[in-house]
Amino acid sequence: MTTNPRAELNSNSSSTIIIDPTMSVMSAIVSGLKCRAFIGLPSLSGALRCPGVQYQSSYTSPSIPSSCREVAVPSANARIRQFRSEMFSQEKERQRNLIARLEKIDVEYRGIPADTQLQMNKSVSTPYNVAQHLAEYLVDRSALALVNGKLWDMHRPLEEDCTIELMHFRQDDPFQVNRAFWRSCSFMLGSVLEEVFKDDILVELHSFPAPFVNSGSFVHDVDLKMSDWKPTKTELMTLSATMHRLAEKAVPFERLDVSSDLALQMFKDNQYKVKQIPSIASSSQSGSDVTLYRLGDHVDISRGPMVGDSSFLGRRCTIAVAHPIQHDGKAMYRFQGVALPKDMFLNHYAFGILEKRAMKLNEANIPSQIPTKSLN
């Protein structure tokens, strides 16, 4: 039997969606196909797919249902993701209910347009709320805060009387803001990797190293349970396009400190996180807690801080390469990308130089005896 070059998506017994794998990512989006981009195996490379539907090789006339998601069954990746997000919400609500009554704290803001004294709600108000009280442009540009001299997430509640400064990318020394941006890009990449692969590929995120801007790339390591996948240029473009769509949603980064026992329960489906959690907890300030972040329904472990929300990812973002690597003898892929914050611009030629640099293997936190050939 000859395999048809198109992929057929059966949403029910009477209707199908046909997606041409030769169609560019942007063409598919412009054409109004509201399905998420799913990366396939080499034989179906480049096909944009709806979640939870079955694939056949025969061709029929296209008939697009009103909503792919209405007929789709959640994949294992989606179920695990939803499970963690629901546990995150429950624990966040539990901790919020521990606040018996609202207490006021004195917050001294330092910066433009003028130093200001504010009264805020303890364990409820955040640096983002401080910016809302001051000026709209501060809300838009503030990516990070400095609270009593400590780096602080924009949506992390304030815990005591404090001084606060709002940090942005155009300040005199943006080093810490750039690091938070790089870290946030790695976190967003993890979210995208959990989304884009076909349902029969279990995506098990391993980790992402501490951000080092001079390395030229942000990274995320992932176990795809296969070692022979060779991502095409179109598939890497799909990852980049999905990063941009996530940025357009301006999803806030939520921080939550939880017990190691709860973290182990949340990540019981990830063998790597289960191994990492005890050492992470023991090295925490309390000696027993794990810091989690959530972006939409994606939950992962990180000490942070992160930028305020996903919209700080600018128009220039490229997932440049996937290097085959190993962690403790397990074959994985190291995805690497490069991006600019919003309102930061480079011409095509200059950004192309950064893209080429981002393709070079970022060796952070991996053994030296790994393959050096990249799959790009």
Would you state the CATH architecture of domain 189-358?
A: 2-Layer Sandwich (3.30)
User: Domain locations in the chain?
Assistant: 7-71, 104-175, 189-358
Is there a contact between 97 and 124 (Cβ–Cβ < 8 Å)? no
Written as one letter, the residue type at 368 is: S
Instruction: Give the tens place of pLDDT for each residue, 1-21.
Output: 443 333 332 333 333 333 343
Give the CA radius of gyration of the chain.
Answer: 22
Residue pair 362/334 in contact by the 8 Å Cβ criterion: yes
Residue where the block lists tokens 């998506």: 9
CATH class of 104-175: alpha beta
Tell the burial category of 309 from Cβ atoms under 10 Å away from its Cβ (0-12, 13-18, 19+): buried
* DSSP code string of 16-62: EEEE-TTS-HHHHHHTT--SPP-B--GGGTT----TT-EEES-----
Cα 24 off chain centre by: 23
- Residue 340 burial (CB count, 10 A): 17
State residue 200's pLDDT score: 84
Structure confidence at residue 74 as a pLDDT band (50, 70, 90): low
For 195-246, the pLDDT digits (tens) are 999 888 999 999 998 888 888 999 999 999 987 888 999 999 999 999 999 9
pLDDT in tens, 180-205: 999 999 999 999 999 999 888 999 99
Give the C-alpha separation, 308 to 130, whole Å: 13
The terminus-to-terminus CA distance of the chain in angstroms comes to 31
**Distance between CA atoms of residues 80 and 361, nearest Å:** 30
Distance CA 201, CA 226 (A): 9
* Tokens at 197, concatenated: 């692969």
pLDDT in tens, 350-375: 999 999 999 999 998 876 544 444 44
Residue 279 in tokens: 């050492």
C-alpha span between 218 and 184 (Å, rounded): 9
Share of residues in the chain with pLDDT > 70 (%): 78
Could you report the per-residue pLDDT of 315-324, keeping only the tens digit for each? Answer: 999 999 999 9
Q: How far apart are CA 295 and CA 359, in angstroms?
A: 26
For 335-352, the pLDDT digits (tens) are 999 999 999 999 999 999
Q: Tokens 């503030």 sit at which residue? A: 142
Structure tokens at 371: 């393959």
Are 332 and 223 in contact, with CB atoms under 8 Å apart? yes
Q: What is the DSSP letter of 310?
A: G
Question: What pLDDT sits at residue 365?
Answer: 84
DSSP state of 253: E
Question: What percentage of the chain exceeds 90 in pLDDT?
Answer: 70
Mean residue pLDDT across the chain: 83
Residue pair 166/138 in contact (Cβ under 8 Å)? The answer is yes
Query: What number of CA atoms fall less than 13 Å from residue 308's CA on the CB side?
Result: 25
CA-based nearest residue to 185, from 68, 309, 67:
309
- Cβ contacts of 371 within 8 Å, gap of 6 or more: 323, 324, 325
Handedness of CA 159, 163, 165, 166 (dihedral sign): positive
